[in-house]
Amino acid sequence: MQYTPEQKEEFFTVLRRVESVTLAAAELGLNVNTCHRWASEAGIASKAPGSDRREKFLRLREIGMSRSEAITAVGVNPKTAREWERGIRKSGGRRIYPDGRVVDYKRGVSTKTSSTGTPGVVPVQVAALEKSIDPRYLNVQERELIRDLQATGSSVRAIARTIGRSPSTVSRELARNTDPLLGYLPHGAHRKAATRRRRPKSAKLAIESGLRNYVKDKLLLRWSPEQISHTLVEEFPDRPEMRVSTETIYQALYLQSRGGLKREVQAALHRPDPP
C-alpha cells in the first residue's frame, strides 16, 4: 500500500508523542512494517525487543485494538497477555499481583502487604499458602511454576524437567485444569484437583444394612469369611450391593477402628464348640 507524504508526516508526529513505532502505527491504522522502515530511514532506533511490550500491549488495548491483534503486534504469549490485563507482572523471577502479593520463586517465599497497612512485607512460605497433602500430588508452588513456564512457551517436557515431575503428570494437569477462556490458573487448578481427590469411604460393614446383618448372622453360625463371601454371590446373583470380599470381612472383625462388627460376634467366633 502506498501512503501519502501527509500520512508519513502524521506518523512521525504521533511517534514523537507515544515513543513507539508499533503504537503509532496502530493508532493511525498504518502498516507496522512500513512504519518501522520509515523510522529506520530517519535514524530512529527501536528499543530492545520486549523492553516495553507490556506497556505497548496495554496501550494498544486502550485505543481499541483487539486482544489477538495486540498480541500479534507486540509478539507476546496469549497467556502472558491475559495476565497483563489482570494486572499481574513478572520481574526478576518474581510474580507480582495487583493486590500486593509477590511470589518469589528464587527464594521460595511469598510476601504480602502487612495487615496493619504499614510499609514493608510479611514473609509467608510458599509451601504454607496451601499445605501439600502428599508428595505424590502437585502442590501450589509447582502449579504456579507450570503456569509461568507455560507462559514463556516452554514445552511440557521442559516444564516436567524443571519441576522434577514426569511429562505425563504435567500434560494431564494442563488437560484437566485449563480453563477454556482464562487458561491455566494455578490456584484454581489446585482447588479443582482437591475436589476431585477421592475422599475416604465408610467401611462397607460399618453401617446398618442387609449385607451387614447377613454377614453378622453367618458369623454367629461360625461360617468363615470365605464361605460368606462365596455364598453371597450364589444367593444374590442380581444384587451387586450384596457383595463383600473376604478381606473386608476380616477387617471388620479385627480392625475395630474401621467400623468392625460388634465385639460379641468376635467373642462368639472364639468360644469353644458346645460339648
**Each residue's pLDDT tens digit, 206-240:** 778 889 889 888 888 888 888 999 999 899 988 88
Return the residue matching grid coordinates 511454576: 145
Q: Quick one: which H or E segment has residue 243?
A: none
Could you tell me if 28 and 7 are in contact, meaning their C-beta atoms sit under 8 angstroms apart? yes
The crossing angle, in degrees rounded to 10, of helices 78-85 and 140-151 is 110
Order the strands of the 121-125 sheet from edge to edge: 89-91, 94-96, 102-104, 109-113, 121-125
Most confident of 116-125, 148-157, 181-190: 148-157
Residue whose C-alpha is closest to residue 173's, from 132, 145, 199, 200: 145
Count of C-beta atoms within a 10 Å radius of residue 251: 20
Cβ proximity of 147 and 185 under 8 Å: yes
pTM of this structure: 0.34
For the purposes of burial, counting CB atoms within 10 Å of the CB of 222, is it exposed (0-12), middle (13-18) or buried (19 or more)? exposed
DSSP labels for 38-89?
HHHHTT-PPPPTTTTHHHHHHHHHHTT--HHHHHHHHT--HHHHHHHHTT-E
- 9-65 residue pLDDT tens: 888 888 888 777 877 787 788 887 888 888 888 887 655 444 577 888 888 888 888
